[in-house]
Amino acid sequence: MKSYIFSMEAISEMLVECYREENYLETGGILIGPKKQQGIITNAIPSSSYAEREWGTYCQSEADVDILNKKIIEKEKNGHIFKGYFHRHPRGLAGLTGGDIATCRKILNDDWYGIGNELLMCIITESVGEKSPILLFVVSLNSEKGIVVEKASIKILRKECIEDCMEHFKEKGENNASNITG
């Protein structure tokens, strides 16, 4: 199982966004990490107030995408890129839905995103049998352009520690963060 390092601050931002509503509407945002290190997420940026949030659905409106794109451009100035999404699912829905898979397929087939063949999808939900409300999936395309979904584990470090040790992490293409953390 692949392992990814998330900053404590990114985890906190995801949980705050997903549990801020008493009625637990679906919501979400984007995952950002250093361009050179594939297995690291340093930031989670929630969608804006323009996102469409309902009990069973969440989607980004055009206005929300514009706002998030501006935030991505700011992060790119510091060597960070878009790496995936996080969003809340209703209680018990601990996997990717058909809509999630369709979104993944669209992104992985579009070179504009510049993420190569790896998209992270983080689902926040309450599910029996799971140790954590945060589930991480790595989505890619196989040689026939079919979707491959793999569950991955998350290791959590303070952002400051990640940044201080960045030079010691393997660069993109060399394998993921699990080689460093064991």
- Long-range pairs for 170-174: beta carbons < 8 A, 24 or more residues apart: 170/37, 170/38, 170/39, 171/36, 171/37, 171/38, 172/35, 172/36, 172/37, 172/38, 172/116, 173/38
Q: Does domain 3-181 have CATH number 3.40.140.10?
A: yes
Q: Which two tokens stand for residue 37?
A: 């290190």
Length of the chain measured in residues: 182
Q: Which residues contact 172 (CB under 8 A, 6 or more apart)?
A: 35, 36, 37, 38, 116
pLDDT in tens, the chain (182 residues): 899 999 999 999 999 888 876 666 778 889 999 988 889 999 998 887 766 676 667 767 687 788 888 888 898 899 999 999 999 888 778 889 888 899 899 889 888 887 889 999 999 988 767 678 899 999 999 999 899 999 999 999 999 888 888 777 666 655 444 444 33
* Domain ranges, ordered by start, for the chain: 3-181
